[in-house]
Amino acid sequence: MSLLPPDPPHGHPLGRIALVGAGPGAADLLTTRALNRLREADVVFHDRLVSPEVLALTPARKVDVGKAVGANLWPQPRINSVVIAAALAGLRVVRLKSGDPSVFGRACEEIEAARLAGVPVEIVPGITAASAAAAALTRPLTERGQTERLVLATATCRPGETADLAGSFRPGTTLALYMAMHRLPAVEAELLATGAPETCTVEIVQQAGTAAERILTTALRGMAAAAADMTNPAILLIRWPVPQARTGTRPTGCHVAAASPLPLL
Ligand code: SAH
């Protein structure tokens, strides 16, 4: 029996790997390039959060390498090695990740593994959860004169490390917080300890960009209690506006209902 990989089905000696952003779930939020890669793929290794609607767009063989909570069936090195082995066998491989692969997607490790193996690798960007949440709210992530800094942060670090949320939050910031739902009381306490006003608006969007989308708007103080029945996947948008005296500008207030009807053109 030969130990060599089977002949490449498409006539190229090496396959290639595309780290593709699946977006938040709705198929029409994929980029055209993502759709092309999915249609051309021989095999798709996907995360648990990728929606069935997106997976239905590819004729390729699909392998769920998602990490179920508490299970360790697919540790990162194992994912790296099966993805590389498929590419070395000449297959067009899509590594499909929810949202944007470059945002909390452990893409670094997979790119490095591909480079070490000499396999061509590319990133196809996707719509990250923060952008999908802004769309769900019809409220921009940044608001002129209010929040002019957008920070994408995770509340979950490697085991034994704590996220430095305090270093990310100051006046003028919209903090988009990923992977925070399991430690909301600690997040609330950490952010209040920065001196942020208790009244900072917190918007929590669960399953943004899908039919099951849910939105909760609350204040920073009390957010953990208010969100007790919200579950993952969900993202927090926490806004600490600049003090008005400093900017001299009025709130853009695009999230506030218009006081008078818009003039008819
Ligand atoms: N690469 C992804 C993030 C992966 S980390 C992206 O760019 O969106 C996983 C975290 O992303 C989840 O814990 C949650 O905080 C967030 N997330 C992913 N999909 C989401 C969705 N549809 N709605 C809200 N949050 C989501």
Q: Does this chain's domain 16-124 share its CATH topology with 129-244?
A: no
Which run of H or of E encompasses 136? helix 129-137
Pocket residue to mutate for ligand 1, from 48, 54, 76, 98, most atoms within 8 A of Cβ: 98
Name 59's Cβ contacts closer than 8 Å, sequence gap at least 6. Answer: 39
- Contact by Cβ (8 Å): 153, 49: no
pLDDT tens-digit readout, 71-117: 567 888 899 999 999 999 999 999 999 999 999 998 999 999 999 99
Cα 37 to chain centroid distance, Å, stands at: 19
Is 47 labeled as catalytic in the residue annotation? yes
How far apart are alpha carbons 64 and 54 in whole angstroms?
13
Predicted pLDDT of residue 156:
83
35 vs 196: CA distance, rounded Å: 42
Interval 163-192: pLDDT, tens: 788 888 999 999 999 999 999 999 999 999
pLDDT bucket at 50, cuts 50 / 70 / 90: very high
Indicate the helix (H) or strand (E) that contains 223.
Answer: helix 223-226
| Ligand 1 neighbours (beta carbon < 6 A) | 24-25, 49, 97-100, 103-105, 128-129, 132, 178-179, 205, 207-210, 232-235
User: 68 falls in which pLDDT band (50, 70, 90)?
Assistant: low
In the residue annotation, 179 being an active-site residue is answered as yes
The DSSP annotation for 36-85 comes to HHHHH-SEEEE-TTS-HHHHTT--SEEEE----TT--SS-HHHHHHHHHH
CA 4 to ligand 1 centroid distance, Å: 39
State in words which class domain 129-244 has.
alpha beta
Show Cβ contacts of residue 18 under 8 Å, excluding neighbours closer than 6 positions: 37, 41, 92, 93, 94, 95, 121, 122, 123, 124
Quick check: 260 pLDDT over 50? Answer: no
Question: CA-CA distance, 62 to 45, in Å (whole number)?
Answer: 6
Angle, helix 76-88 to helix 107-117, in steps of 10 degrees: 40
Q: Which fold has domain 16-124?
A: Cobalt-precorrin-4 Transmethylase; domain 1 (3.40.1010)
Residue 14: its pLDDT value, please? 77
* 38, pLDDT greater than 50: yes
Question: How many angstroms separate the CA atoms of 29 and 34, rounded?
Answer: 10
**Mean pLDDT calculated for residue range 23-38:** 96
Mention every residue, 6+ apart, whose C-beta is less than 8 A from residue 90.
Answer: 5, 6, 7, 8, 9, 10, 12, 13, 14, 15
Q: Where are the domains of the chain?
A: 16-124, 129-244
Indicate the average pLDDT of the chain. Answer: 87
